[in-house]
Amino acid sequence: MKEVENKKINKQFRSEAEEFVIQVQNVSKSYGDVKALVDVSFSVKKGDIFGLLGPNGAGKTTILSIIECLRKQEAGSISVLGMDTRKNANLIQKKIGVQLQNTSLIPDLRVIEQMQLYSKLYGKKKNKKELLQLLEEVGLTEKANTLPRKLSGGQKQRLALAIAIINDPEILFLDEPTVGLDPQSRHKLWDIILDFHKKGRTIVLTTHYIEEAENLCNQVGIIDHGKL
């Protein structure tokens, strides 16, 4: 009887662990004398839109870059999709999509060519029809043959989002996705993010806009001076 009870308990613990696609435990990071993160802990459930809300310089981008395996923490542990970020960076990066604050666009490549390039870099090699479908999802079909310099700020952000989802990620990371955009462009991007979420994807975003967190997120962590 005791063995049966233990099996039930173990099964329950496994089920609860599988619910969380990101687990951050006691993570700290410093740059010289500046403490960017201090003992930060939080978990993100599968299918959530999790927001990190805080002012500029609060540590939002730092913790995001560590979760994305772009930087390493000095203390603590992080699990993404059940994998340790320190041991499985390459595997994790194949399963996530990342939109940086400033996504690099090549000046001489048209929008569709940018998509083709990033598709190859991700190892997905989507055909032109599939890439045009992605552009349609972000409202850029008519800009497929346009150079980046002729895109508005909002259109560049939408292109960056299309690039971030080109590998069909299980988790999408968005670092200040609407910073600098006018209200109309911001709301357009919100709609696109919510449409992507409806497909069952988990999204983690940083923002310093309270309104953005309220409209997009079902879970929010407030970070300031490196503390959550």
Tens digit of pLDDT per residue, the chain (228 long)? 545 444 444 444 344 556 899 999 999 999 999 999 999 999 999 999 999 999 999 999 999 999 999 999 999 999 999 999 999 999 999 999 999 887 788 999 999 999 999 999 888 788 999 999 999 999 999 999 999 999 999 999 999 999 999 999 999 999 999 998 999 999 999 999 999 999 999 999 999 999 999 999 999 999 999 999
Helix 183-197 and helix 128-137, axial crossing angle in degrees, nearest 10: 120
Three-class SS of residue 76?
strand
What does the angle CA 222 – CA 52 – CA 208 come to, to the nearest 5 degrees? 85
User: Of 59, 70, 68, nearest to 29 (Cα)?
Assistant: 59
Cβ neighbours around 127 below 10 Å, total: 10
User: Of 149, 135, 148, nearest to 192 (Cα)?
Assistant: 135
